[in-house]
């Protein structure tokens, strides 16, 4: 049986870093970051690009799930609404798959500090700070397991996911 890890969380919480560690801790694993499907210039959000991104994500995930080389499929994206999670899951062939739905959460101040560090390093723009903090409470309403990463490094979070989910 394959494992499919869907890991959500607000911007800057540590999804990508956690999943990179997790990929290296699980055998025969592959990792897709939903943000890679949005890596465009100029960045455009409209019905056409949203539809395209969802189709690309689902296409890639289905191919990973079907590939005999992978036992552990890891996917991360913001996924702040249950409808986003559901719309992805509805398109996937999850037969013979154990699903792990996880949302990373943390204290508001911790998130702010992480985002400010990213802004200072030139990784993010300041406009993401308010949006990310605004999204944080939405993850507590989802049908996912919550993993509090307030005092946890991405590598520690990956270990927690590997050992507990």
What is the chain's pLDDT, residue by residue, as a tens digit (165 residues)? 999 999 999 999 999 999 999 999 999 999 999 999 888 888 888 999 999 999 999 999 999 999 999 999 999 999 999 999 999 999 999 999 999 999 999 999 999 999 999 999 999 999 999 999 999 999 999 999 999 999 999 999 999 999 998
Q: Please answer whether residues 158 and 117 qualify as being in contact, where contact means their C-beta atoms are separated by less than 8 angstroms.
A: no
For position 34, what pLDDT does the model report?
Answer: 95
- CB 66, CB 37: distance < 8 Å: no
- What is residue 47's predicted lDDT score, i.e. its pLDDT? 93
Strands laid side by side in the 2-9 sheet = 29-33, 72-77, 2-9, 97-105, 145-148
Which token pair is 140?
A: 């507590």
User: Domains of the chain, with CATH numbers?
Assistant: 1-162 (3.40.50.300)
Structure confidence at residue 144 (pLDDT)? 98
Count of CB atoms within 10 A of residue 54's CB? 16
pLDDT at 21 (0 to 100): 98
pLDDT at residue 134, as a whole number: 97
Specify the pLDDT at position 44: 87
Provide the b/e sequence for 97-133 (b: ≥16 CB within 10 Å).
eeebbbbbbbeeebbbebbeebbeeeebeeebbeebb
């Amino acid at each position: 049986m394959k494992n499919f890890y869907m890991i959500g969380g607000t911007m800057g919480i540590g999804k990508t870093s956690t999943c990179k560690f997790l990929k290296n801790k699980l055998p025969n694993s592959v990792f897709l970051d939903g943000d890679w499907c949005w890596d465009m210039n100029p960045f455009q959000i409209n019905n056409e690009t949203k539809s395209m991104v969802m189709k690309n994500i689902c296409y890639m995930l289905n191919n990973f799930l079907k590939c005999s080389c992978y036992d552990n499929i890891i996917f991360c994206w913001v996924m702040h609404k249950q409808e986003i999670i559901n719309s992805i899951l509805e398109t996937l062939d999850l037969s013979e798959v154990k699903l792990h739905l996880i949302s990373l959460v943390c204290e508001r101040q911790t998130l702010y500090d992480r985002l400010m560090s990213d802004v200072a390093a030139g990784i993010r723009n300041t406009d993401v700070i308010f949006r990310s903090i605004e999204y944080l409470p939405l993850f507590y309403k989802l049908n996912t397991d919550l993993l509090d990463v307030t005092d946890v490094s991405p590598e520690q979070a990956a270990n927690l996911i590997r050992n507990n989910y």
